[in-house]
C-alpha cells in the first residue's frame, strides 16, 4: 500500500471516530429533548436537524467554507488585541483555521453524521416508555437524574447504533470534505477523496482497491447494525 493511501486510511479512521463520538455527544441529549419535551420552536429545531441530510453535499461544504474561512470565527468579538498570544496559539498550535486542515475533515463529517445520529437517538428514546422515569421523579429524582439513571442505561443499544451509523456516514463523506478541507495528500486526504485522486490521474487499480476497502468497512458496520437490530427486536 502506498504511503499516501496509508496516511489517508489513518486519517479516515481517526476522523470518522472523532466525528462519531462528537455526534453521539450531541445526539443523545438532543434526541432525548425532542422525544420527551414539547416546547416552542420544536418543529423548527426538528427541521434544522434534517437540513444537513437534504442539503446538497457541495452546498454544505460551501456553507462551512463561508462560515469558517476566517483564521478564527468571530475572533474580534472574543479576543481583544491584548490577547493576541491566545489567538496565535489557537491558529498555530491548535490547527486553526479550520478550512483546508485536518479539523475541517472532522467538522465536515460531523455536520452530516450528527443528523443521522440524532434521528437514531430520538427513535430510541421514543421506544423507551417514560413511566419508569416518571416513577423515579415521584421518588425524588430530578429530570436530569432520571435521564442519567433510568433512560440512558436503557438506551445503550441505540447509542451503539447511532455511533455506528454516524461512523459509516462519515466514512462515505466526500463533497463537503473536498470543498471545505481540500484533497491535499498527507494532510487532508481521506479514503473517499483518495478514490477521486487516483481516478483523476488514471490509476484505476488503486481506486478500485481503495473502493473495495471502503466497501468492506461498510459491510462490517451494516452487519453490526443488523445484529443490534435483531437484539433489540428479540
- For 220, the grid coordinates are 462490517
Give long-range contacts, CB 8 A cutoff, 24+ apart: 124-132: 124/31, 124/155, 124/157, 124/158, 124/159, 124/161, 124/162, 125/31, 125/32, 125/35, 125/36, 125/151, 125/155, 125/158, 126/35, 127/158, 128/154, 128/155, 130/36
Per-residue confidence in pLDDT tens, the chain, 234 aa:
678 888 889 999 999 999 999 999 999 999 999 988 888 888 888 888 888 888 888 888 888 887 776 554 444 554 444 444 444 544 555 445 567 788 889 999 999 999 999 999 999 999 888 888 888 888 888 888 888 888 888 888 889 889 989 998 999 888 889 888 888 888 888 988 888 888 888 888 888 988 898 888 888 888 887 787 677 665
Place of cell 469558517: 68
CB atoms within 10 A of CB 204: 10
Domains of the chain: 3-233 (1.10.3720.10)
- 27 touches 124 (CB < 8 A): no
Amino acid at each position: 500500500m502506498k504511503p499516501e493511501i496509508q496516511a489517508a486510511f489513518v486519517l479516515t479512521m481517526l476522523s470518522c471516530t472523532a466525528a462519531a463520538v462528537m455526534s453521539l455527544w450531541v445526539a443523545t441529549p438532543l434526541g432525548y429533548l425532542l422525544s420527551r419535551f414539547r416546547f416552542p420552536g420544536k418543529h423548527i429545531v426538528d427541521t434544522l436537524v434534517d437540513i444537513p441530510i437534504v442539503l446538497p453535499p457541495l452546498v454544505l461544504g460551501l456553507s462551512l467554507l463561508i462560515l469558517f474561512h476566517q483564521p478564527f470565527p468571530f475572533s474580534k468579538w472574543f479576543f481583544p488585541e491584548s490577547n493576541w498570544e491566545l489567538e496565535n496559539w489557537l491558529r498555530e498550535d491548535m490547527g486553526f483555521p479550520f478550512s483546508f486542515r485536518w479539523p475541517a475533515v472532522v467538522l465536515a463529517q460531523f455536520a452530516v453524521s450528527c443528523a443521522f445520529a440524532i434521528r437514531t437517538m430520538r427513535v430510541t428514546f421514543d421506544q423507551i416508555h417514560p413511566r419508569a422515569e416518571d416513577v423515579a421523579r415521584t421518588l425524588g429524582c430530578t429530570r436530569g437524574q432520571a435521564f442519567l439513571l433510568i433512560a440512558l442505561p436503557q438506551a445503550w443499544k441505540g447509542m451503539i447504533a447511532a455511533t455506528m451509523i454516524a461512523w459509516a456516514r462519515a466514512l462515505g463523506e466526500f463533497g463537503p470534505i473536498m470543498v471545505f478541507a481540500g484533497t491535499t495528500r498527507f494532510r487532508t486526504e481521506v479514503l473517499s477523496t483518495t478514490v477521486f485522486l487516483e481516478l483523476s490521474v488514471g490509476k484505476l487499480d488503486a481506486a478500485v482497491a481503495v473502493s473495495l476497502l471502503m466497501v468492506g468497512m461498510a459491510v462490517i458496520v451494516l452487519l453490526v447494525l443488523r445484529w443490534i437490530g435483531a437484539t433489540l427486536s428479540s
